[in-house]
Amino acid sequence: MKRVPKGFPSNFMWGGAVAANQLEGAYDLDGKGLCLADINEFQKDLPIEKRSNGEITRSYIEEALQSNDKNFPKRRGIDFYHTYPEDLKMLAELGLKTFRTSINWARIYPNGDDRQPNEKGLEFYDKLFDEIIKNGMEPMITISHYEMPLHLTTAYKGWYSRETIEFFVKYCKTVFDRYAGKVKYWIIVNQINLIGHESFNHLGVAEDTVDDLRSAKYQAVHHEMVACARATKYAHEKYPEMQIGMMLCGGPEYAASCKSEDVLATLKHNQMEYFFADVLLRGYYPGYAYRFFEDWNIKLTFEDSDEEDLKNTADFFSFSYYYTQICSKESYEKGNEAYRNKELPANPWGWTIDPIGLRILLNEFYDRYQKPIYITENGVGYYDEVENGEIHDSYRVDYLRAHIEQMKEAIRDGVDLRGYYAWGPIDIISCSSCEMSKRYGFIYVDYDDYGNGTGKRIKKDSYAWMKKVIASGGEDLA
């Protein structure tokens, strides 16, 4: 009889994850074009729990582009474009075995539909990936992480326009060819199921350019999945050593009660969160999706070749995990919505803290796909205070300890968990709210929400704790 694993495997990939648009800065250097994330801004006048980038209109984009505001574009980053050698050295000293970041699409193809890539952009990522490897870390690279060139929204309709498939596949081929000797692990699209929350960041569809936004989102993500499958086919045929992954934003959502109606509504809700992985890992649209489209009057158009393209499936499954929510018959009928679980504690932004939910989700996903799994984002945002040059973030240590304990339990359950990437191991600008003060990192970066500060890097207490965890192979969590 096979023995139950006692802990993390010796080759477990302990890592950290970031996104280009949240840390690089240098939005206008070396030929880079504007990307979707560049026009987002810190919404200081909104209540803290409502600071997120949802739908965006074409008129908002036009006003932003014509603005004389000295703070535009808003996505300043932490100047990683210039500081990456020093920052990567600090992360290597933490003990990270792997580092996940993204390529900013608009650095490579500034308009998205350019005939030739921007060589300066390609050269930057050559240097960045070389530096990651030099520091003993395995790169895991995301190809699309809210960095679609803005021109593809203003001249087309983002992913809603079928032309974007060819633009994106060309971009994927460019980076596969350029970095084949440096990058083995790829995630094509970050959190592909986020088409409600942050749908503009993801899909580039301005809400006032389509008649039926819900249908447009599913049409857009259909085009995106076809593009992912075509890119996967190219990678598999030309570079068989490459590992191609797909990524969800994880849940799970719990039923609000044991009433059958609530349980069924939660099943339907979760199915349509897992739908994207079902397509990209199984290679076809599941029956429940067609029922969902019929029930919600969602209209999709398929080309004759799409079903064949989608048979080119990913090699591994990855997901982010931050919080769980509640679903009921009523919330589902409002628009397939979910809401906060008041039984659980939360951070200041209302994101619940549910370590056991991570174990549940790991088991569900492995049962469903039987593919290697990587947790490619996990962490908690908090306000950090500097006290005499130090940051005492025991709350972050408590959060991480509890989640790592549940990862170990999931491995003992038989889950093939290969890696864990703490989100924002160095402080970066929040994706959802554009705040710098919503901090996740083991390393503090001295900038505020308006870009003021010295940029100085300071190791937090959690840095020393995580270094000990990694050195012990996940055994010493004290």
Q: Which residues are catalytic?
A: 377
Strand partners, 189: 144
| Other CB atoms within 10 A of residue 146 CB | 29
- In the structure encoding, which two tokens stand for residue 423, read together? 């989100």
> Shortest CA distance to 100 belongs to which of 188, 175, 19?
19
> Shortest CA distance to 332 belongs to which of 281, 296, 288?
296
CB contact at 8 A, 344 and 353: yes
DSSP 3-state of 297: coil
Give the span between the Cα atoms of 312 and 319, in whole angstroms.
20
| DSSP, residue by residue, 68-135 | --TT-S---TTSHHHHHHHHHHHHHHHT-SEEEEE--HHHHSTTSS-SS--HHHHHHHHHHHHHHHHT
Look at the block and give the residue holding tokens 């908690």. 380
| Other CB atoms within 10 A of residue 5 CB | 14
Tell me the CA distances in angstroms from 345 to 223, 340, 353, 383, 444, one per residue in order: 38, 10, 6, 16, 24
- In the structure encoding, which two tokens stand for residue 37, read together? 């994330």
CB contact at 8 A, 25 and 80: yes
Give the span between the Cα atoms of 430 and 441, in whole angstroms.
11
CB contact at 8 A, 272 and 286: no
